[in-house]
Each structure stands twice: as structure tokens, then as C-alpha cells.
Amino acid sequence: MRTQVAIIGAGPSGLLLGQLLHRAGIDAVIIERQSAERVLSRIRAGILEQTTVDTLHAAGVGERLQRESIVHDGINIVYDNQPHFIDVRALTGAVVTAYGQTEVTRDLMDARAGSGLPTHYEVEEVWLEGMTGSKAVAHFQQHGETRRMECDYIAGCDGFHGVSRRSIPEDRLREFGRAYPFGWIGVLADVPPASPHAVTYAHHARGFALCSMRSLTRSRYYVQCPSSDRVEDWSDARFWDELALRLDARTAGELITGPSIDKSIAPLRSYVAEPMRWGRLFLAGDAAHIVPPTGAKGLNLAVSDVRLLAEALIEHYRERSDAGIDSYSQRALRRVWKVERFSWWATLLLHTFPDTDDFGRRMQEAELDTLTQLESASRSFAEHYAGLAF
């Protein structure tokens, strides 16, 4: 088989790249190890930057997003039992859009199927070669058959556990990371959100908490928990009680509880791999970087990589110029590190660390006061939260 771009992974990165290349008349084939249903069954975050919403519209998959998403003017930060509203719209002109990553993935999958574009699901043993040669090849097993996909370029959109990053020689790859000494237990429940007008981030001595939503009838909540905790340690009742304890009285009073329809624990970590290009192989999304979810940046950063990569590949095929391709890694990493810094800073600010001393706690409170009382600090936060300009 032959194509121009072989895309490894049918998560939001791979599907969005496939869609943008398709609209530019560039051939691309997606190779995914899971089934489409399995890909859609993953519960992930759901807060979109303005630049992400614009990119999804430009990719022709914004119609349902426009209809079903919830638009917020800003976010709430709660500490000392007080909510503080950061008015992102007033400070930046941009808004915050609540729309589940699963819905974004579904819209992209529907668009791809609707255009009859090739996606090989449930493949096995994917391996890559030829990245530094005249053509690249993606090998994989499908229905017991060995397949070969020759291509000009490979887009590694296969997430943190994928094969693409591991195809870069170890002596050429630099890895940077931080593991945080806690996780988030997340609950999805078909109950109206406690704060429908704004995602609410709570800093509390008992630990961090977050109130978010998927719709006006489906809510998503998280509380900080020890990394050693297991889901079995958290009954629904314990979860709701702990959440209410960490919120301000008003938001806790608005909390409507119910049975969880999904409950999972996610570790928090920061990770970056450099470079994001190795010859004919490009990395995008979680294949190259992981952010702690505190800043709601995972999906948004993946979309910004894909936007840069699509522009570079379109420039290559349309204008026969490799300027974009040759600077992709450096340009993507410059944005990645800014977003990593914001997510790391928000994590340090809003969580309770086991080894924080009294001085450290006072510093956190003073930083929260500065953030919510100094317009320049609120504006900087709002600009990062809404999405940095390209």
C-alpha cells in the first residue's frame, strides 16, 4: 500500500490531522490498534480553547460543537471558602468552551467515515522504518496478514504508550518529566452541574477539587487523592462528601449528587520528549508530551501540534517548500514548553503537597490572592487558560 502520510493513532490528534490533510487534498491513511468503539469509550477532559474551537471549525467538524457545547465567560477559583471569578472574556475577549473530548473524537470519526477515508482499526505489531531514508514504511498486522504502508511521512499520533516515539533512536531523544505525589479521582454522573456557568477549581487543605461538566445534565468532578489510592477505596458517598468539604459553601450547596456512571483515577505528571521530528517521522499530541490536567491543556496542546504539522505538510505538498517541516519541532516545542509551564504552575498552586510547610502554604495563599486581586496576574492566567495566540 502507498500513501503520502501514514498516521499512527486514531485519537483526536490523528483524526484531526487526517481531516485537515483531506481538506487540503493530501492522501493519508490512519492505522489504529484499538477498535473505534474502544477509542470512543475513553473518558477524557472537555474544556476547549478558542484556538481549538476555531481549528475544529476550519476542519469542518464544528457544527455539533456549535450546537451542543456550553460557552463560559470565565472560571471560578475557590480558596478560603470563597469563590473568585476570573472573567476570561473581559480580560482576553476569548471564551471557554465545555465540550467533551469524546464528542470531538466522535465528530472527527464521523467526518472521516462520511468521506470514506481509509482507517485501519484493530491492527497489531505496528513498527516503523525508513525514517532517515528515501521513503518511510509503516508495517502492521491486520486480520493475521502482514501489511506494508509506504509513505513520504509518518505522523506519530499514537499517544504516550505508542510505537512512534520509541522509533526515535535513544541517543537522539531527550526526555523531561515531573511526577506529582498525588492523583485525581474523577467521577462522571448524570446530574446537573453545581456551577453551570463556570468550571470551578478549588484549593483546600484537604486537597484540590474540580467541578466541570459535559452538558447541563451530565457533570464531571475530580478530587485530589493519594497516588496509592484505588477506585475501590472511593465509594460514591465518600466521593460526594469529600468534594463538598473542599468547595465553598455556596457551590457545595448547589451540589446535586447521584450514582457515578464512570469513576477512574489518573496520575498527574508532566512529560516532554525532544525532538518532535526524526527524519520522515513527526510526533504530535501525547506521543510527545503529557501535561497534568490542572490547566485543561492536554487536548488543546495536541490540536495546536496538529495545526502546525498540517500547515507544514500542506506547505510541502502545495508549495514544495520544507520551511514548515524543518521548523516544526522547534516551533511546536516552543509552545509546548509554555503550556507545560502553565500546567505545572497551576498544579503547584492549586494542590496540597504532602511536604508543604507553613511557609509554603502562606506562599500558595499569597499567590492565590495575587492571581485573583491583581488584574495583570488575572489577565496572564486568562490568556494562558483561553489559549495562547499562535
Residues that bind ligand APR (CB under 6 A): 8-14, 31-34, 39, 44-45, 101, 126, 157-159, 161-163, 285-286, 298-299, 302
Site for ligand PHB in 171-210 (CB under 6 A): 199, 210
The smaller minimum CB distance to ligand APR, of residues 156 and 193, is found at 156
286 binds, among ligand PHB, ligand APR, none (CB under 5 to 8 A by kind): ligand APR
Distance in angstroms (rounded) separating the CA atoms of residues 280 and 6: 10
Distance in angstroms (rounded) separating the CA atoms of residues 129 and 362: 53
Please report how close the Cβ of residue 233 comes to ligand PHB at its closest, in angstroms: 21
34 binds, among ligand APR, ligand PHB, none (CB under 5 to 8 A by kind): ligand APR
SS (H, E, C) 293-312: HHHCCHHHHHHHHHHHHHHH
DSSP state at residue 132: T
The residue among 125, 170, 169 whose CA lies nearest residue 147 is 125
297 is catalytic: yes
Could you give the angle at the alpha carbon of 301 between the alpha carbons of 307 and 171, nearest 5°? 95
296 binds, among ligand PHB, ligand APR, none (CB under 5 to 8 A by kind): ligand PHB
74 binds, among ligand APR, ligand PHB, none (CB under 5 to 8 A by kind): none
Active-site option among 79, 201, 222, 328: 201
Site for ligand PHB in 261-300 (CB under 6 A): 293-294, 296
Active-site option among 275, 293, 316, 351: 293
Q: Which three cell numbers stand for residue 354?
A: 504532602
212 binds ligand PHB (CB under 6 A): yes
139, 124 Cβ separation under 8 angstroms: no
Q: Which three cell numbers stand for residue 35?
A: 477498535
| Binding residue for ligand PHB, selected from 16, 30, 45, 308, defined by CB under 6 A | 45
The smaller minimum CB distance to ligand APR, of residues 64 and 139, is found at 139
294 binds, among ligand APR, ligand PHB, none (CB under 5 to 8 A by kind): ligand PHB
The smaller minimum CB distance to ligand APR, of residues 242 and 286, is found at 286
317 is catalytic: no
HSE of 118 in the Cβ direction (CA atoms, 13 Å)? 15
The smaller minimum CB distance to ligand APR, of residues 65 and 252, is found at 65
61 binds, among ligand PHB, ligand APR, none (CB under 5 to 8 A by kind): none
Q: 129: exposed, middle or buried (C-beta count within 10 Å: 0-12, 13-18, 19+)?
A: middle
> How far apart, in Å, are the Cα atoms of 156 and each of 17, 84, 194, 289?
11, 40, 39, 12
Q: 372: exposed, middle or buried (C-beta count within 10 Å: 0-12, 13-18, 19+)?
A: middle
220 binds ligand PHB (CB under 6 A): yes
263 is catalytic: no
The smaller minimum CB distance to ligand PHB, of residues 131 and 247, is found at 247
Active-site option among 297, 316, 351, 384: 297
Extended strands (E) in the chain: 5-8, 28-31, 47-48, 70-72, 74-79, 82-86, 96-98, 119-120, 124-129, 136-142, 145-151, 153-156, 174-189, 198-202, 209-213, 219-225, 260-274, 277-278, 281-283, 289-290
Query: By rule CB under 6 A, what count of residues binds ligand PHB?
Result: 10
Q: Which three cell numbers stand for residue 67?
A: 450546537
> What does the binding site for ligand PHB look like in residue numbers (CB under 6 A)?
45-47, 199, 210, 212, 220, 293-294, 296
- Catalytically active residues, by annotation: 72, 201, 293, 297, 385
